[in-house]
Structure 1
């Protein structure tokens, strides 16, 4: 035990006062005469002994009262367990992700509790201490150390962020500012979700002392949208479609009678009541009305407490125009392509004989199919080459006797060669993990019957082929040549394949056409995705694409032909809808949602967090579950445990004892 103000010990001299009072009786004695004192002498002897005991007890109570009163002013304290590093530099990381909107057991919001804990840290240390506040945004104010008053002001401006950070990212951000040879204190205040914390690639920097402060939420479950997709993998104007939504229950109890609504352009168009099993998922289907064209904002909403940040889910319905398909074919080519793209609600199909083809048609086409051609003229080869370089999509279905040399130069495929006619070989089943087949098949059956084909040419091994023979030779491959070049190993006539008569032919050709659509895009993006690809026609290179939502954002962008690659700044984009604006025209719509991992509320315990951080001696855990408990714990660790209150209570106790002795002890 130490005394903060030992100079007050001189006041212990006051203890001689009750001793002097006890030794010298200042009351004057009164003489009383009695006729017979024999009996009085006996009474006097007995009462004097009792009175002496009473006086000693009262003296002891007075001495102890004065002693503890003096000790109270000396402010006794149990020394602190930890001492602040000599550098007086403290880094504060405060997790302000969306999951911090959940409630603690005392109903305080997690972010508010974290901010209050940070204030307790700032108020605990000396005024000359400097602090660095780091949040998930990695904002510019995190680059410099600030005074306690400046940090207090920043904490009042703290808001929930759409950005999620792993433990590795936070560690790297803090470590990059640690000066070599300088010891630093780090307070890490976060909810430490299992889904977002991740694992460290290395142990925490041993030159710093890391204090982990887990924010512990009350036990809860959460319901959220796990995924959503259209039954038809690409949206087409005016065609009926079905929106499939997978609802997930991250809890230990069944969620019963959950009301889910679908709003399109803020108008309710569908509703459903579902029950979701504990730890499971339930699919809901919403019919989308026919006649929808253009861009539409769809929102799935429901009520779920106490976690509410993910109670809405946004989808951008970009109902594009018909897919424009141009077929260039020989006189002997089959009509398989014309039949599959003959659906006038989905496709705008044009077929031309190779000798009667206007090259200007290429400029307006989304997909060009060259069917049954054995050779290609240099002028047509040049036009197709330019079309590919400008981001177009071409499918080559060769003739029965292709001239490899001509095609080799036109398609820039050096390994292309013709081969002697072989026996028909069955195709291997599709690789359903290939992005080409995403949302194409409802059931991924292993026993799917496959078509047969015989190759007329070969371009070498291709492990990424969309379809392969069972002997591992490629049947349908795609090459990135500015645009997409699809090539079939077989002609489409009946003598060489039954692929065009097989059930697999239509979904493959539809998906191929869908991938060629220049307005093809995802229904939604997560806020943790920082890369968004777009495909726009005739975009000037000197005019940037803007995202217009609650605020206007001009992201970093790179233009390659008709392709635009946007780098989305996570701290500038919020959950919601953003219009894609180019040259003043709205050319698309993007929907952003909260990172799905944020909705998984399971947390690491304190010991698990320490183990994740390496468990070194420079890592400590604050187990306080409330703001007041944390404030007391931080003061105990760095300021010690004050005992003056106990000394004052003891002084008052002995004062009370003195009063009781005088009043009741006869």
Structure 2
């Protein structure tokens, strides 16, 4: 034990006063004469003994009263277990991710408890202590140390953030302050899914105090992923939205009702049963053809964890598929007619002797149609385009040159077939994903077109279309991109395929499969940048993101694509319009990183072991602000005893009064 004001101990000299009063009785005595005082003497002796005991007890009570009163003013304390450094600098990392909205056992939100702990730290330490507050946003205010009033005001402004941070990111951010020794309070729920790995090169001169926010055992349901069966619904055709829902809890969820809203109009509902720690899939039929930009949201009720009950989707059908046709002459072809829908396709046709190779890099699909011989320079350009993840459809002429087609196709068994008769095509394989969602009914008696075979490349069990003799008519080969090869020419005397009802969906699917950089349904806020292709980027004016607030993010343009660096501390989950020159050119949907919805936690002991289990790492096990404050006082400020000393002084004063009043 020690005293905060030991100089006040000189006041113990006041203990001599009651002793002096006791030793020297200044009251004057009176002598009384009696004829016989034998009996009075006996009474006097007995009374004197009792009076002497009473006086001693009163003296003892007075001495103890004065002693404890002096000790109270000396401020006795039990010394603190730990001491602050001379610079009195404290860094507080406060986890304000969305998972901190979960509830503790006493129904308090995790962020509210964390803020209470942070306020206790600021209020209890000496006034000259400097503080730095770091949150998941890594906001500018975390760059400098703050005074106590500034820190208290700053804590009132902290809100939940959409940004998740790994432990290594937090460590790196703390190190940016320098290498001077300091106290670090790490207030977090230590979520397993986002914690990641700790860096091993820790600064042993810093004392790290772990303050775990331990949640109650709360189940959580969230959307794991969502996708369209037909990623590009050309012409607004029927589509199906597939949704996978995950249950992170330890009990089954029955009859969870999901609702799909498109453009603020309810488009469907679905009920799903999800096993514990499992995933279930459901679907929504999108029967109404969608075009342009559409805002979709999947929502459900899941209490008490509700931060991930909404899932946002951007259904953009504004980007056109760019098709380039290379043909013999500038005459209309079936390819030009099928891709003539200007609302869906941007079609450009060139003759083989007047082709601008620069158009290859901009095309989603290149159709080489009706050529009998292919120039070596064109072969080289097409191979480079394929190697760069391009997509090429090769349709031979009526008299293909074997050497040039071998160079282009790079198929070892390719041969030219002559003097053949038209053959019937076999019905499509309805289970092939290429034809998924094309046919309303799977009719076995579907009338099929005829075609004359001009190229042969051997057996192909995975061909998209085959003749009835099982030989391939349309095959797909994987390069870096996709190479599609048709065995016959699209000429009236050789085939009626281009007049058949199957021709349009097949050609649409070929074009849609080649679409590059198409807008995704949604992005995760954990992504650092996104790439979006736009039809026109003629202006140097930067594009803007307009949602809950307007942002001008860092961006760079490459060709007709724009790459945007996501400002994590400013952007939140929801919809953002991509605006260029005052026009909305795209819609982006952002959702929280799904790992944030996995609420499993590390304990304080587990985190300490990951940090090396060193002596400079300690754990605060407090579950409430009151117990946390007491633990702070015990560790850093010591245990004050003046209240107990004052209580003892009052107690002995009461004892003295009782002795005087009741002891006869």
Q: Could you tell me the TM-score, scaled by structure 2's length?
A: 0.78
Equivalence for 1:428: none
Structure 1 runs not aligned, ≥5 long:
423-436, 442-452, 457-473, 480-484, 495-499
Deviation, structure 1 residue 376: 1.6
Equivalence for 1:597: 595
Taking a change above 3 Å as real, the CA distance of residues 606 and 84 of structure 1, as seen in their structure-2 partners, is same
Inter-partner Cα distance in structure 1 for 2:88 and 2:379:
72
Structure 2 runs not aligned, ≥5 long:
416-432, 438-454, 459-474, 490-496, 498-502
Taking a change above 3 Å as real, the CA distance of residues 22 and 541 of structure 1, as seen in their structure-2 partners, is same
Inter-partner Cα distance in structure 1 for 2:69 and 2:42:
42
Stretch moving more, 528-537 or 349-358: 349-358
* SS of equivalent to 1:20: helix
CA deviations over 1:408-435 (Å, ceiling 9, x no partner): 6xx8xxxx8664669xxxxxxxxxxxxx
8 Å contact 2:92–2:131 — kept in the other structure? yes
Inter-partner Cα distance in structure 2 for 1:203 and 1:438:
52
Taking a change above 3 Å as real, the CA distance of residues 240 and 34 of structure 1, as seen in their structure-2 partners, is farther
Inter-partner Cα distance in structure 2 for 1:588 and 1:313:
19
CA deviations over 1:445-478 (Å, ceiling 9, x no partner): xxxxxxxx9869xxxxxxxxxxxxxxxxx98334
Partner residue of 1:521 out of 512, 519, 522:
519
Stretch moving more, 166-175 or 284-293: 284-293
Q: How does 1:264-663 map to 2 (within 5 A)?
A: 264-320=262-318, 323=321, 366-370=364-368, 375-377=373-375, 393-396=391-394, 419=412, 476-479=477-480, 485-487=481-483, 492=487, 513-517=511-515, 520-540=518-538, 542-663=540-661
Taking only aligned residues, the RMSD between alpha carbons, in angstroms, comes to 4.3
Equivalence for 2:210: 212
Taking a change above 3 Å as real, the CA distance of residues 196 and 262 of structure 1, as seen in their structure-2 partners, is same
Inter-partner Cα distance in structure 2 for 1:10 and 1:315:
77
Inter-partner Cα distance in structure 2 for 1:397 and 1:326:
13
Inter-partner Cα distance in structure 2 for 1:59 and 1:359:
115
8 Å contact 1:372–1:491 — kept in the other structure? no
Equivalence for 2:200: 202
Deviation, structure 1 residue 111: 2.5
CA deviations over 1:362-385 (Å, ceiling 9, x no partner): 799742233675632479669979
Equivalence for 1:78: 78
Q: Could you tell me the TM-score, scaled by structure 1's length?
A: 0.78
Taking a change above 3 Å as real, the CA distance of residues 647 and 165 of structure 1, as seen in their structure-2 partners, is same
8 Å contact 2:220–2:305 — kept in the other structure? yes
Deviation, structure 1 residue 343: 13
Deviation, structure 1 residue 170: 0.6
* SS of equivalent to 2:70: helix
8 Å contact 2:234–2:508 — kept in the other structure? no
8 Å contact 2:328–2:351 — kept in the other structure? yes
Taking a change above 3 Å as real, the CA distance of residues 255 and 58 of structure 1, as seen in their structure-2 partners, is farther
Inter-partner Cα distance in structure 2 for 1:538 and 1:390:
22
Equivalence for 1:192: 190
Inter-partner Cα distance in structure 2 for 1:195 and 1:296:
32
* SS of equivalent to 2:236: coil
8 Å contact 1:222–1:307 — kept in the other structure? yes
8 Å contact 2:262–2:297 — kept in the other structure? yes
Deviation, structure 1 residue 167: 0.4
8 Å contact 1:189–1:212 — kept in the other structure? yes
Inter-partner Cα distance in structure 1 for 2:403 and 2:231:
35
* SS of equivalent to 1:570: coil
Q: Does 1:160 align with 2:150?
A: no
Stretch moving more, 250-259 or 378-387: 378-387
Deviation, structure 1 residue 128: 3.2
8 Å contact 2:91–2:132 — kept in the other structure? yes
Taking a change above 3 Å as real, the CA distance of residues 384 and 594 of structure 1, as seen in their structure-2 partners, is same
Stretch moving more, 60-69 or 240-249: 240-249
8 Å contact 1:403–1:418 — kept in the other structure? no
Q: Does 1:252 align with 2:250?
A: yes
CA deviations over 1:182-221 (Å, ceiling 9, x no partner): 3222222222111111111314211322222222233322
Deviation, structure 1 residue 87: 2.7
